[in-house]
């Protein structure tokens, strides 16, 4: 059996590697659209990119409207700036939202129709040169073929994907992550952990994805608590940046499973941050998933050092579930009810939406990558377990 394995054409990594950006993008375009959010401008991260472009003599314009989990409206607004300013390549700067928005702007700049027309379509076309600079260690979007955009008309998070969406250049520079506050560090870090765990336990896993996933799991388990406690820990920040990229490479090729499938509807309906909704789902989803993939979850438990070779696989898998539960608490992940309260929603309102959320989760296709494929009723039961 053969496998396909896709990564960006080039990845550069290391502290302050942003200063080398110009030499990697000369000749790739004449004017850049920087897709980012107001926080990146406020905290000086955009200035680092502007400095590198100015040094290289490359004109640019900034679109900082990607300040929330991206919608089709945000994409269209950014696309309007891209065309109006006669840009011909794109630089994404930020967390998952600017990354996803930039990817969508890139392929929509050479496409017709609405963005919703591309759901369940393999997006494979010639697109503008795309640079991805993550400012969190979590989404892995700098190396993936997917983008998640909310369809505002139908209130659904669309998972869009194809080889054209993979950035041509990923710039993995942990200096950008130093400004991330503890809560963002935790949420994005657990998102990366989910990527790695889901990739390793996906029915689409392959030898190369296993290598990247296990490496990421080990780094995240060790370094995320360090970054959460001390955001200025440069060594831990570098390890987390690399781990998030490794996890992104893993799930880009092996896909995600039940956690992400169930997380997207929560984000679409209740606007809970993607990493947080993943984190609150992780223990319950893993408890469900271990029953038909015990050996792989046991391997993760041993990587996390909560089991050893002498521990029976089932016991090790159970220990893994206990460890991810403890781990999420260690890095301050709030409870489901706390998350809802922060968004002005209640448990009752959440439970009233479980039928729709379960349908939307299955529609995404991600839960079907789980070795133990859940039914709609089982997904609803897991949603109920979150309280």
200 and 121 both lie in a single domain: no
Residue 58 and residue 31 in contact, taking contact as beta carbons nearer than 8 Å: yes
Residue ending a domain, among 128, 147, 177, is 177
- Output the average pLDDT for the chain: 96
User: What CATH number has the domain bearing residue 134?
Assistant: 3.40.50.1970
pTM recorded for the entire structure? 0.91
Q: Estimate to the nearest angstrom the gap between the alpha carbon of 183 and the chain centroid.
A: 16
Handedness of CA 21, 22, 28, 31 (dihedral sign): positive
pLDDT at position 312: 98
pLDDT at position 78: 98
161 and 270 both lie in a single domain: no
186 and 171 both lie in a single domain: no
Share of the chain above pLDDT 70, in %: 100
Band (pLDDT 50/70/90 cuts) for residue 13 is very high
For 344-360, what is the mean pLDDT? 97
In a domain, residue 305? The reply is yes
pLDDT at position 48: 97
361 and 290 both lie in a single domain: yes
161 and 208 both lie in a single domain: no
pLDDT at position 364: 87
- Centre a 10 Å sphere on the Cβ of residue 266 and count the other Cβ atoms it contains: 28
188 and 258 both lie in a single domain: yes
In a domain, residue 194? The reply is yes
Band (pLDDT 50/70/90 cuts) for residue 268 is confident
Query: Could you give phi then psi for residue 36, rounded to 5 degrees?
Result: -155, -160
Band (pLDDT 50/70/90 cuts) for residue 328 is very high
In a domain, residue 1? The reply is no
pLDDT for 118 beyond 80: yes
103 and 221 both lie in a single domain: no
User: What CATH number has the domain bearing residue 236?
Assistant: 1.20.1090.10
Band (pLDDT 50/70/90 cuts) for residue 300 is very high
Q: How many separate domains does the chain show?
A: 2
In a domain, residue 2? The reply is no
Q: Where in the sequence is the domain holding 63, given as residue range(s)?
A: 10-177
SS (H, E, C) 92-138: EEECHHHHHHHHHHHHHCCCCCCHHHHCCCECCCCCCEEEEEECCCC
Cα Rg, the chain, nearest whole Å: 20
SS (H, E, C) 36-104: CCHHHHHCCHHHHHHHHHHHHCCCEEEECCCCCCCEHHHHHHHHHHHHHCCCCEEEEEECHHHHHHHHH
165 and 188 both lie in a single domain: no
More confident residue, 213 or 1: 213
143 and 195 both lie in a single domain: no
């Amino acid at each position: 059996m053969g496998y396909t394995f896709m990564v960006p054409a080039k990845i550069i990594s290391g502290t302050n590697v942003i200063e080398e950006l110009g030499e990697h993008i000369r000749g790739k375009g004449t004017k850049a659209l920087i897709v980012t959010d107001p926080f990146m401008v406020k905290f000086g991260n955009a200035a680092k990119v502007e400095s590198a472009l100015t040094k290289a003599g490359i004109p640019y314009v900034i679109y900082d409207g990607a300040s929330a989990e991206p919608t089709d409206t945000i994409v269209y607004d950014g696309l309007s700036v891209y065309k109006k300013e006669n840009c011909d390549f794109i630089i994404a700067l930020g967390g998952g939202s600017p990354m996803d928005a930039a990817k969508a702007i890139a392929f929509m700049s050479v496409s017709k129709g609405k963005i919703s027309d591309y759901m369940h379509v393999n997006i494979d076309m010639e697109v503008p040169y795309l640079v991805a600079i993550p400012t969190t260690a979590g989404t892995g979007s700098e190396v993936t073929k997917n983008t998640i955009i909310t369809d505002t008309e139908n209130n659904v998070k669309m998972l869009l994907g194809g080889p054209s969406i993979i950035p041509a250049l990923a710039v993995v520079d942990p200096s950008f992550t130093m400004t991330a506050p503890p809560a963002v560090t935790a949420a994005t870090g657990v998102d990366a952990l989910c990527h790695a765990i889901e990739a390793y336990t996906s029915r689409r896993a392959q030898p190369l994805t296993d290598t990247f996933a296990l490496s990421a799991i080990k780094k995240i388990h060790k370094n995320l608590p360090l970054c959460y406690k001390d955001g200025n820990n440069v060594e831990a920040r570098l390890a987390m940046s690399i781990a998030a990229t490794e996890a992104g490479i893993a799930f880009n090729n092996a896909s995600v499973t039940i956690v992400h499938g169930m997380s997207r509807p929560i984000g679409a309906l209740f606007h809970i941050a993607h990493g947080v909704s993943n984190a609150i789902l992780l223990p319950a989803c893993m408890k469900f998933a271990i029953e038909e993939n015990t050996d792989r979850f046991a391997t993760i438990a041993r990587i996390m050092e909560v089991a050893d070779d002498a521990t029976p696989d089932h016991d090790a898998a159970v220990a893994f579930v206990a460890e991810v539960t403890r781990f999420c608490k260690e890095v301050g992940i709030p409870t489901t009810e706390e998350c809802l309260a922060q968004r002005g929603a209640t448990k009752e309102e959440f439970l009233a939406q479980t039928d729709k959320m379960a349908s939307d989760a299955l529609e995404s296709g991600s839960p079907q990558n789980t070795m133990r494929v859940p039914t709609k009723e089982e997904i609803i039961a897991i949603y109920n377990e979150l309280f």
